[in-house]
Amino acid sequence: MSRRRPSLRRRLLIFLLIPMAALLLLDALLTYGVALTYANRVHDRDLSDDALTVAKMLGNNQLGSELTPQARFLLEYDPVGRSYFSIVSARRGLMAGNGQLPRLAQAPPLGTAPRLYDSKLDKHSLRVATVRTTAPHDPGDSLIVTVAETLRDRHEQAREILLLAILMQTLLIVCVLSLVWFGVSRGLRVLDPLTARLAGRSHELTPIDGPDVPQEIQPLTRTIDALFGRLRGMLALHDRFIADAAHQLRTPLTGLSLHVDRARADPRPETVADALVHIQRLTQRAARTSSQLLALTRAQAAPLDHEERGLLDLGRMIPEAVAQRIHEAIRAGIDLGYEGVTRPLYIDGDAASVLDMLDNLIDNAVRYAGRGSTVTVNLQARADGGASLSVEDNGPGVPPELLPRLHERFFRAADNGEEGSGLGLAIVQRIAERHHAGVIYRLAEEHGLIVEVRFPPPSAAPMHPT
């Protein structure tokens, strides 16, 4: 069962809905708190007014043992039974009301506003207003009027306000999300020209960024353009490799075909033996050319990234690599040696690429210096913390005007009789560029050629060298 594809609209709605729901909950708490504060304020005012009204009616009464009907109706009327009152004489005690109603330890002074406070009765929370007034026929006596009510009406009113507010805010959120859905749907239509432009392409890898691309989408289009650039580079390397292979392998393959035809046309043993010698030499040449083409293609790749780059100790790698070529140099009649540092000397790079570079430098010197010559590999530390790797030979060298062309692919000096593909120094140049190193070609003091590769200093202190 296939998974449902992610939807940008749905994700936006979810990202908006969750914080809006949290805000709605927070707003509900705040609204309820504000509504309850407002209800408390209104009820406290009414409660104080009731206490003052009763006190005023008592002051105008020909007080006997009973309250006036108006005062009793005002105090006793409560259809749901949530109001309480008491009238207490300082001399005669409780005159009317609920005797269980809690009283203040100290009654408010005469002539002051009613005192409001919280209390409890039978586990019910009460809001109480108490006021003190003078008895009508006994100036020495005073009456304490206490009026109380439960908090139920206050909370009910706060809940009613909250429900009204929640209903309106929920409706507002639904409208906002609908507008967001509509706006996102309309806004995403700006991608239609980009989509049409991409759909209309066949094999083009040109940049897709343009003035009609929204700035929010530009990071994506620039990433795609960068990918297209890398693909163009890879395709260019592919095409160049095919062209180079066709260019370089045409001659040995043609020679192979000619010598095979010669051996078939003249089956004498000496003719076949001579043809096989030429076939072996041409086969070796084709194999070396193929390996160098592959090495050049690898060297022409993008600069080394952090995963490919490691800390290399050239002071250990280079002498070991030179030592492995000694026996081969002896068979070729070449005096191959090493001069330079023996202590650790670090650079950032890829070990396989650096060894491939050294092999091509040595191969180039051995091939073109000639039998009986001397080839010296030198490694020195530079003043800036980098490293200098050079290979010097005492061969015939090259004319000074040809030095700038030594790094070109398939370039070979015209007066050089040695067979070669002309790719060795091109590979060295490309590997050096991948390592942000420079290559310098110069003639030796007497005769011969020096190829020097200058590596930059490592980016970090050596800890775990490769």
Domains of the chain, residue spans: 8-159, 218-298, 306-455
User: pLDDT tens across 92-106, in order?
Assistant: 787 777 667 777 778
Cβ(341)–Cβ(315) below 8 Å:
yes
Lowest mean pLDDT segment, chosen from 298-312, 356-370, 434-448: 298-312
* DSSP secondary structure string for all residues of 235-249: HHHHHHHHHHHHHHH
Residue 73 has pLDDT above 70, yes or no: no
Lowest mean pLDDT segment, chosen from 2-6, 34-38, 65-69: 65-69
The residue-averaged pLDDT of 29-38 equals 89
Cβ(263)–Cβ(272) below 8 Å:
yes
CA atoms within 13 A on the CB side of 375: 29
Q: How far is residue 418's CA from residue 405's CA, in Å, rounded to a whole number?
A: 18
Q: How far is residue 365's CA from residue 428's CA, in Å, rounded to a whole number?
A: 13
Residue 114 has pLDDT above 60, yes or no: yes
Q: How far is residue 278's CA from residue 272's CA, in Å, rounded to a whole number?
A: 10
Q: How far is residue 349's CA from residue 387's CA, in Å, rounded to a whole number?
A: 12
At 244 the pLDDT is 61
Q: How far is residue 326's CA from residue 413's CA, in Å, rounded to a whole number?
A: 27
The residue-averaged pLDDT of 200-206 equals 70
At 404 the pLDDT is 83
Residue 224 has pLDDT above 90, yes or no: no
Residue 430 has pLDDT above 80, yes or no: yes
Could you tell me how far CA 177 lies from the centroid of its own chain? 28
The residue that leads in pLDDT, 229 or 210, is: 229
Q: How far is residue 437's CA from residue 452's CA, in Å, rounded to a whole number?
A: 10
At 100 the pLDDT is 74
Cβ(364)–Cβ(424) below 8 Å:
yes
Q: How far is CA 462 from CA 71, 176, 186, 346, 348, in A?
A: 98, 59, 56, 7, 10
Give the predicted TM-score (pTM) of the model: 0.46
Nearest to 241 by CA among 289, 204, 287, 285: 289
Count other C-beta atoms under 10 Å from residue 127's C-beta: 19
The residue-averaged pLDDT of 46-55 equals 86
User: pLDDT tens across 265-285, in order?
Assistant: 888 888 888 888 878 877 876
Residue 129 contacts by C-beta under 8 Å, 6 or more apart in sequence?
A: 44, 47, 48, 50, 51, 114, 115, 116, 146, 147, 148
Of all residues in the chain, what percent carry a pLDDT higher than 70?
Answer: 78
User: pLDDT tens across 237-263, in order?
Assistant: 666 666 666 655 666 777 778 878 888
Of all residues in the chain, what percent carry a pLDDT higher than 90?
Answer: 11
Count other C-beta atoms under 10 Å from residue 81's C-beta: 7
Residue 376 has pLDDT above 90, yes or no: yes
> Which superfamily is assigned to 306-455 in CATH?
Histidine kinase-like ATPase, C-terminal domain (3.30.565.10)
The residue whose two tokens read 């050319």 is 289
The residue-averaged pLDDT of 421-449 equals 84
Residue 327 has pLDDT above 70, yes or no: yes
Q: How far is CA 241 from CA 256, 290, 299, 363, in A?
A: 22, 10, 12, 22
At 294 the pLDDT is 67
Cβ(97)–Cβ(87) below 8 Å:
yes
Q: How far is residue 156's CA from residue 164's CA, in Å, rounded to a whole number?
A: 12
Lowest mean pLDDT segment, chosen from 99-103, 163-167, 370-374, 451-455: 99-103
What architecture does CATH give domain 8-159? 2-Layer Sandwich (3.30)
At 63 the pLDDT is 41
- What CATH number should be reported for the domain whose range is 218-298? 1.10.287
User: pLDDT tens across 117-126, in order?
Assistant: 888 887 788 8
User: pLDDT tens across 145-184, in order?
Assistant: 888 888 888 888 889 888 988 888 888 888 887 887 787 7
Lowest mean pLDDT segment, chosen from 134-138, 315-319, 349-353, 462-466: 462-466
Question: By three-state DSSP, how is residue 254 classified?
Answer: helix
The residue-averaged pLDDT of 60-88 equals 60
Provide the pairing of β-strand 374-381 with 335-340.
parallel
Across the chain, mean pLDDT equals: 79
At 391 the pLDDT is 93
At 422 the pLDDT is 66
Residue 301 contacts by C-beta under 8 Å, 6 or more apart in sequence?
A: 237, 434
User: pLDDT tens across 9-23, in order?
Assistant: 777 778 878 888 888
Q: How many helices (H) and strands (E) does the chain have?
A: 10, 12
Q: Tell me the Cα Rg of the chain.
A: 50
Residue 421 has pLDDT above 70, yes or no: no
